[in-house]
Amino acid sequence: MKKKEVITSYSLSEMKDRYIGEIGTSERDQYEYELSMDILGRMIKTARKERNLTQEQLGELIGVKKAQISKLESSTNSATIDTIIKVFKALKAEISFNVKIENQNLQVS
pLDDT tens profile 5-44: 888 899 998 999 999 999 999 998 888 888 888 888 999 9
Residue 105: the pLDDT is 63
Q: Judge whether 2 lies within some domain.
A: no
Boundaries of domain holding 81:
12-108
Confidence tier at 83 by pLDDT (50, 70, 90): confident
Task: Report in angstroms the alpha-carbon separations of 23 from 18, 19, 32, 98.
Answer: 11, 12, 9, 19
pTM of the model: 0.70
Q: Judge whether 35 lies within some domain.
A: yes
Q: What is the mean pLDDT of residues 73-101?
A: 83
Q: Does 61 score more than 90 pLDDT? A: yes
Task: Report in angstroms the alpha-carbon separations of 75 from 6, 48, 79.
Answer: 40, 15, 9
CATH for 95: 1.10.260.40
DSSP for residue 106? E
